[in-house]
Structure 1
């Protein structure tokens, strides 16, 4: 297999994982969305779930010809055109630093930038939602400025509150609910990302976007 080839792996007999080649970026992610739209129409496929640079296909029953399906999936990827999903834009007010941003000092130490500079850089982009996963309602976002990229924490935090705005490596995200995290939390926001009584339950979907607005920078 060449470096530019996609990779397909079997997850038992109930699913396939397709992994796209190359870097994680919006054009690649739009092709993943396109591939998901195509694959979910196939009779063997129960669900097509886009991830970051990957696609999970699950089956109601094991396909009779799994090798043929793998070949079909790769062929569909080669034909897939980027899907221009122009979703909704959500503005999230963020209080940076303070009790809601307990790891701001670590990001300051790593980047050599001030809290105000980090808040300004972090809130500048429009972040596209690449995929939804990890925990219900959580969004994987693209587009963070590499100037504030900070390695994940060596020791994860066992419980961060929902609405925690964090940086992990070259990515940023917002915790949709209370739970553990190995990312660096730099602020907090108030948004209900998941409601089981809503249709769909997750507030944001791939193709939507988030804009962070500075509501304050605390020391």
Structure 2
């Protein structure tokens, strides 16, 4: 995800191939809008011919069985359902995650501070004072995309990705925040990213495990707070 969310004046539904429909909500990112997305997702999953759904940031992707659904009719139905749908408050569980800011695990913290004209300590305080809500699943099993980043920390995603260590990284891009999935430490455990990595969460729990019941410890609507363990230079 680029970190840049298109702000629409009106909702729209577009075709994604011959089996998918993407509903994009109107307006900026906001919790009531996302709660409507979650409510719509629950409703759409009950429709005949729906194979799968994927809530996104201000959006919902619906995968249809072409033998059971007409794409044009389904698009109209989806748009009508969105306009009729109302948000339902979902007060999920709260997880507190300790973070080591800066240092080798948060190489971009000084750059973020310089971009905003702030001291490193101010960036850490603004980031850790916020409460984040899991808005949508991420690109893989994990904590998902987090909403709640202080507007004073909004920062564009990098145009050219950089190599950063993975494994419980705490990062941001645009109006979004992210907590990466913990991994075993390894000097070669790096990956390209356009996000700004400002710290790591060494003791974050593994959010998804197929051997566990339930497999995921977090759900959409759950909340995360970051606790400052220390700041490294």
TM above 0.5, yes or no, is: yes
Which residues of 2 match residues 8-47 of structure 1 at below 5 A? 8-47=13-52
Which range moved further: 63-72 or 183-192?
63-72
Partner residue in 2 for 1:115: 120
Q: Is 2:201 the partner of 1:214?
A: no
Deviation, structure 1 residue 111: 1.0
Pair 66,155 (structure 1): closer, same or farther in 2 beyond 3 Å: closer
Deviation, structure 1 residue 180: 2.9
The answer as to whether partners of 2:49 and 2:69 remain within 8 angstroms in 1 is no
Partner residue in 1 for 2:5: none
Unaligned runs of 5+ in 1: none
Partner residue in 2 for 1:184: 196
- Find the residue that maps to 1:206 and give its secondary structure: coil
Which range moved further: 184-193 or 195-204?
195-204
Which range moved further: 33-42 or 163-172?
163-172
Which residues of 2 match residues 44-123 of structure 1 at below 5 A? 44-123=49-128
Q: Take 2:72 and 2:174, find their aligned partners in 1: how far apart are those partners?
A: 36
Which segments of structure 1 move beyond 4 Å, counting only runs of 4 or more? Answer: none
Q: Take 1:85 and 1:30, find their aligned partners in 2: how far apart are those partners?
A: 7
After superposition, what is the alpha-carbon deviation per residue over 1:95-118, rounded to whole angstroms, capped at 9, x for unaligned?
111111111110111011111111
Unaligned runs of 5+ in 2: 1-7, 183-188
Pair 113,81 (structure 1): closer, same or farther in 2 beyond 3 Å: same
Q: Take 1:150 and 1:12, find their aligned partners in 2: how far apart are those partners?
A: 32
Deviation, structure 1 residue 62: 4.2
Partner residue in 1 for 2:218: 204
Deviation, structure 1 residue 138: 4.2
Q: Is 2:139 the partner of 1:134?
A: yes
Q: Take 1:201 and 1:188, find their aligned partners in 2: how far apart are those partners?
A: 23
Out of 149, 153, 161, which is 1:144 matched to? 149
Q: Take 1:199 and 1:56, find their aligned partners in 2: how far apart are those partners?
A: 27
Q: Take 2:227 and 2:69, find their aligned partners in 1: how far apart are those partners?
A: 51
For this pair of structures, how many residues does the alignment match? Answer: 217
Out of 9, 21, 37, which is 1:4 matched to? 9
- Find the residue that maps to 2:129 and give its secondary structure: coil
Normalising by structure 2, we get a TM-score of 0.87
Which range moved further: 57-66 or 208-217?
57-66
Q: Take 1:141 and 1:217, find their aligned partners in 2: how far apart are those partners?
A: 22
Deviation, structure 1 residue 157: 2.3
Q: Take 1:47 and 1:64, find their aligned partners in 2: how far apart are those partners?
A: 13
